[in-house]
Structure 1
Amino acid sequence: MKTRFNSFALASSILTGAALSPGLASADVRVCTFPGSPSVTLDRAVASEAFRTAGIPATVTVGAFDGSDDDGVSVKELHRALAKRCDVIAGFPRSPVADASDSKLRFSRGYLRSGYVSIAASGEGAPDATRAAQGIVAATYATPAQLIAVQQQDVKLDLENTPEQTIAALAAGHAERAIVWYPAVVAYTMAHPQQRFAVSGTTSPYAEWHLVFAFGQKEAALQGRIDTALAKMKRDGRLAALTRQWAMPATAQAALPATARFAYRDGPVRLAAVSSSELAGAPARGGFIKVDASVDADAPSFDRAQVKHGKSLYSSSCAKCHGADLKGLNAPALSGPAFAPTANSHLTIGGVFGYMATNMPADRPGKLKDQDYADIMAFLLYSNGYTAGSVKLTADGAKTSRTPLNGKTQQ
């Protein structure tokens, strides 16, 4: 299970603005930033002002995480860091849909609303996408950017290891567009001030994220003091001043319409083909997967053997993004009421299966055999309370099921 923050240098500094004597250093609150996070400059600045406002001495801890490679920071590493090496993590990304957290962490109020955007090269000197690059979308491997990009039709993916490399691929004319987290765009243009990008929003439920402070479970008092400080900074305008450069432009801030199509409900969407009339409910172009939960039907049967096989396949092909426990990581949860509510589901078993078999895993969509996808579907059904039977679930049976995906009480 990895929360992906690709490799940038992890900077450190005294957040209070003055060195503390050795006798006082042990009393400081230890603040960590994520290795590789493009927002680290902002995170340090907000942390400095928030802890100063709260009257709490604080320092950044160097080397709080065991790893800073391209595989990111695992949930286990988060808890280890909070238990032994730091008291607070600045710049923790939270999403209302794809939340890479669990109940053992506490969170402050958000200090930056940001998200994943679609960018294209702009301005004088911007390279024209070559014919070979037309239809290519750059995205960072194993991040929400890839999951957003893979929803689109008639595109090829250029998967890069870091957000910086993803933007660089676009800047060099190797891709027509790029899907990237907006703070990465800010960080890139800071390092390359001559570069300009046209920024637009993305239509996805896991495009919107907020930066917060994360605390250990026992840090309720500290969390409260930082929330009070952030609220004060918001009222007097200091928070807006600190985050102004990092705020998404108006072209990317439109709220997701209630009727917007997204993964699992309507299948892949080519963003360039989505017009305002389509978002308002007009017929859409392209091969959308229709998911109609209005017709009751019995859930297709599956057996225990394929649940076991599906669990193994899930661990190797799906867990990196959706989490080993199906609770979500860089991608939405695949268990619980957000995925399979007890009633009135928007999803059908056939719709979920069709999307999965067409678009997953995100690094190599459609790479598995049809029956392997059926076995993963059996595992997902079992994990959401459906009971295994004696008849094996087939790909055709899963694909044609119009049963609403309503979670069941585990027997």
Structure 2
Amino acid sequence: MNQFLNRIRAVSMLAACIALTPSPSDAAVKICTFPGSPSAALDRAVAHAAFAQANMVATFVEHGIGEGDDDGVSLRELDKTLARDCDVIAGFPRSSVADASGGKMRFSRGYLRAGYVSIETPGADLRDAAKRTVAAMYASPAQLIAVQQPDVTLDLENTSALTVEAVANGRAQRAIVWYPAVVAYRIAHPERDFSVAHANSPYADWHLTFAFGPKSEALRPRIDDALIALTKNGRLHELTKQWALPPETASARYLDMPSTASFVRQNIMLADANVSRAGRIIKVANEGGVSIEPPTFEQAQTSHGKTLYASSCAKCHGAQLQGVTAPALQGPAFAPAANSHLTVGGIFGYMATNMPADRPGKMKDQDYADIMAFLLMSNGYKPGGAKMTANSARSSKLPLNAGPAH
């Protein structure tokens, strides 16, 4: 990660200046965005306009939140980013079922409604298999929306851009996708056109906001006032009109879902960011560079884990862990010979809060630990003397490279 710009003053001094005088402070407010997000360009434009309207000097921190979108970043890390590298995060997605309430952040009013939609290519000549296929981004709200539809084949992609591409290239009849990804794709491919329908699901409705840490929270009222002013003078509309969801008209073809009341009752928290039931965002990425012993596990629990896997995971990941509609859980794509981007703890945390996709978190913690033990054995790790527990799996920072048997 690149070095960040140095602070000119402590944030407390900046807040004091802002509170005492309306004149611009000579201490620039540091703004971070999710650089991999489809809406990153919009987020920067709105941030520039809002801080100018609020008469505050602002500067953008490059790579303040890594290279990706909010996927793979924990709330703890975002809290640290706001305490150390940035004063504000622009483009933070929020919804009624994923409000990030587990962190210390506070949020501005929304500046764009950016929900999930269903897209198709009008008049596309599709093969029979594609006519039954719905594309969605793996481990995102799009997948949870898609799995509620009966009698479809899922094409799960790793990014929202690839999800749109699946429809553009005729691999899928429809895609469930975050609408800014559709806009970004159209900008890059102006010759492409899609029909768009709103997804009728509690997981579909999202808004982009500014996030503030405890020491920069004093900025929030001024940014809210600035967003109100930009709304009144039409500037916000001009900035966001290309990105705004199509109107919900009577002629629009809605994507109907079965009832999602059971999901809501479970209080499942989801996001593009892989938000857990407690509102946290699960980090899967490997911290790297450290030699760490794998957590131990017993042979007996791998047998139990294999049984659980067969009943709850094999339908999507394959009876032989080869991947079907979800990624493979064995082999170099999952556990490479070296330089893994995944950790045992990250995989376990993600699995225990997001899987199975149709009923996230339905199992007991120990059941997930037994499945994790089965996955480790399937990728070359050998049983040891002690039983793997949920705590030992969750706390492991071991990079998931192929074990010695491979």
Specify whether residues 218 and 234 from structure 1 end up closer, same or farther in structure 2 by C-alpha distance, changes over 3 A only. same
Cα deviation for residue 254 of structure 1 reads: 10
> Matches of 1:117 and 1:204 in 2, distance apart?
10
Specify whether residues 252 and 167 from structure 1 end up closer, same or farther in structure 2 by C-alpha distance, changes over 3 A only. farther
Matches within 5 A, 1:29-40: 29-40=29-40
> Matches of 1:132 and 1:43 in 2, distance apart?
38
SS of equivalent to 2:114: strand
The AA in structure 2 aligned to 1:189 is R
Write out per-residue CA displacement over residues 210-229 of structure 1, whole angstroms, 9 at most, x where no aligned residue. Answer: 00000002223201110110
Equivalent residue number for residue 120 of structure 1: 120
Judge conservation of contact 2:356–2:362 (CA < 8 Å) in 1.
Answer: no
Equivalent residue number for residue 91 of structure 1: 91
Judge conservation of contact 2:134–2:146 (CA < 8 Å) in 1.
Answer: yes
Equivalent residue number for residue 77 of structure 2: 77
> Matches of 1:38 and 1:218 in 2, distance apart?
28
Write out per-residue CA displacement over residues 291-335 of structure 1, whole angstroms, 9 at most, x where no aligned residue. Answer: 9xxxxxxxxxxxxxxxxxxxxxx9xxxxx9452xx314579xxxx
The AA in structure 2 aligned to 1:327 is A
> Matches of 2:217 and 2:69 in 1, distance apart?
31
> Matches of 2:250 and 2:90 in 1, distance apart?
23
Deviates more, 1:86-95 or 1:219-228: 219-228
Which of 147, 162, 165 aligns to 1:165? It is: 162
SS of equivalent to 1:159: strand
Equivalent residue number for residue 219 of structure 2: 222
Write out per-residue CA displacement over residues 387-408 of structure 1, whole angstroms, 9 at most, x where no aligned residue. Answer: xxxxxxxxxxxxxxxxxxxxxx
> Matches of 1:321 and 1:253 in 2, distance apart?
33
Judge conservation of contact 2:138–2:157 (CA < 8 Å) in 1.
Answer: yes
Matches within 5 A, 1:231-270: 231-251=228-248, 261-265=258-262
Judge conservation of contact 1:186–1:246 (CA < 8 Å) in 2.
Answer: yes
> Matches of 1:179 and 1:252 in 2, distance apart?
19
SS of equivalent to 2:143: helix
The AA in structure 1 aligned to 2:181 is A
Matches within 5 A, 1:285-300: none
Judge conservation of contact 1:166–1:178 (CA < 8 Å) in 2.
Answer: yes
Cα deviation for residue 103 of structure 1 reads: 4.5
Which of 201, 206, 211 aligns to 2:208? It is: 211
Specify whether residues 183 and 82 from structure 1 end up closer, same or farther in structure 2 by C-alpha distance, changes over 3 A only. same
Equivalent residue number for residue 61 of structure 1: 61
SS of equivalent to 2:27: coil
Which of 176, 181, 193 aligns to 1:179? It is: 176
Cα deviation for residue 264 of structure 1 reads: 4.7
Specify whether residues 32 and 189 from structure 1 end up closer, same or farther in structure 2 by C-alpha distance, changes over 3 A only. same
Cα deviation for residue 98 of structure 1 reads: 2.3
> Matches of 2:70 and 2:106 in 1, distance apart?
26
Count residues with an aligned counterpart: 275
> Matches of 1:165 and 1:208 in 2, distance apart?
21
Cα deviation for residue 76 of structure 1 reads: 2.4
Cα deviation for residue 377 of structure 1 reads: 11
Where structure 1 has 5 or more consecutive residues not aligned to the other structure, the ranges are: 1-9, 13-23, 268-290, 292-313, 315-319, 332-355, 380-411
SS of equivalent to 2:241: helix
Cα deviation for residue 373 of structure 1 reads: 5.3
> Matches of 1:106 and 1:366 in 2, distance apart?
29
Write out per-residue CA displacement over residues 360-379 of structure 1, whole angstroms, 9 at most, x where no aligned residue. Answer: 999589979x9x95646999
Judge conservation of contact 1:144–1:330 (CA < 8 Å) in 2.
Answer: no
> Matches of 1:156 and 1:377 in 2, distance apart?
31
Judge conservation of contact 1:117–1:182 (CA < 8 Å) in 2.
Answer: yes
Judge conservation of contact 1:127–1:172 (CA < 8 Å) in 2.
Answer: no
> Matches of 1:56 and 1:233 in 2, distance apart?
15
Equivalent residue number for residue 327 of structure 1: 278
SS of equivalent to 2:196: strand
Where structure 2 has 5 or more consecutive residues not aligned to the other structure, the ranges are: 5-23, 283-310, 318-324, 328-353, 369-406
> Matches of 2:140 and 2:261 in 1, distance apart?
18
Determine if the alignment matches structure 1 residue 133 to structure 2 residue 84: no
> Matches of 1:227 and 1:70 in 2, distance apart?
23
> Matches of 1:237 and 1:199 in 2, distance apart?
25
The AA in structure 2 aligned to 1:172 is N
Cα deviation for residue 71 of structure 1 reads: 4.9
Cα deviation for residue 119 of structure 1 reads: 0.3
Judge conservation of contact 2:71–2:274 (CA < 8 Å) in 1.
Answer: no
Equivalent residue number for residue 49 of structure 1: 49
The AA in structure 2 aligned to 1:145 is A
> Matches of 2:28 and 2:251 in 1, distance apart?
41
Judge conservation of contact 2:117–2:204 (CA < 8 Å) in 1.
Answer: yes
Equivalent residue number for residue 149 of structure 2: 152
Cα deviation for residue 180 of structure 1 reads: 0.3
Judge conservation of contact 1:142–1:330 (CA < 8 Å) in 2.
Answer: no
Write out per-residue CA displacement over residues 176-212 of structure 1, whole angstroms, 9 at most, x where no aligned residue. Answer: 1000000110000000000000000112101000000
SS of equivalent to 1:158: strand
Write out per-residue CA displacement over residues 36-68 of structure 1, whole angstroms, 9 at most, x where no aligned residue. Answer: 110111111111110000000101101212453
SS of equivalent to 1:174: coil
The AA in structure 2 aligned to 1:203 is N
Equivalent residue number for residue 346 of structure 1: none
Matches within 5 A, 1:365-380: 375=364
Deviates more, 1:139-148 or 1:243-252: 243-252
